[in-house]
Amino acid sequence: MTAAMRALVLSAVVLAGAASAGQAIRPADMAAKPRVEIDYALHCQGCHLADGRGMAGKVPDFRDSLGRFLEVPGGRAYLVQVPGVATSRLDDDGTARLLNWLIARVGPPRTCRAAPFTTAEVARLRRTWLRKARPLRDGLMRQIAAQPNMAKGAKLPDCPA
């Protein structure tokens, strides 16, 4: 994306936010947007939509299961190796920051405690990205569905690596 295009998309994002809040657009609004939100808007929102609901039948709904992938073996790697993440133009640092923000925002794991993604981890995992995500995703979703419910207040174990 050229710098001009980037600026255009950026102002559209800011405009949309300002219009919904019924406010005038000030340059300060742009600076006030956290970098991670702008990254999401530029690189992910086209498919996943602003609230992560995705597109029925095409793009999965983050709100159902995003953090839950961390509960099952292989799920942590999947979150980085899925094509939309691994092949995005965001660098490793930006990708780790974005994933950690997204998971905290739309739903952390429910049955274990996950460590945040690190830049080095993203760099290592994204090298071998998934050409076909669906078969692996279907298997992970079956494992997630089989996870036992944790008792309220139970001390959660660490998530699998």
Residue from 82, 86, 114, 122 touching ligand HEC (CB under 6 A): that is 82
Q: Between 132 and 152, name the residue whose CB sits nearer to ligand HEC.
A: 132
Residue from 72, 77, 90, 125 touching ligand HEC (CB under 6 A): that is 90
Per-residue binder mask for ligand HEC (CB under 6 A), 39-78, x = binder:
----xx-xxx----------xx----xx------------
Minimum Å gap between C-beta 42 and ligand HEC is 8
Residue from 10, 18, 29, 84 touching ligand HEC (CB under 6 A): that is 84
Report d(CA 77, CA 128) in Å as an integer. Answer: 10
Report d(CA 58, CA 141) in Å as an integer. Answer: 16
Neighbours of 13 (CB within 10 A): 19
The SS3 call for residue 138 is: helix
Report d(CA 151, CA 148) in Å as an integer. Answer: 9
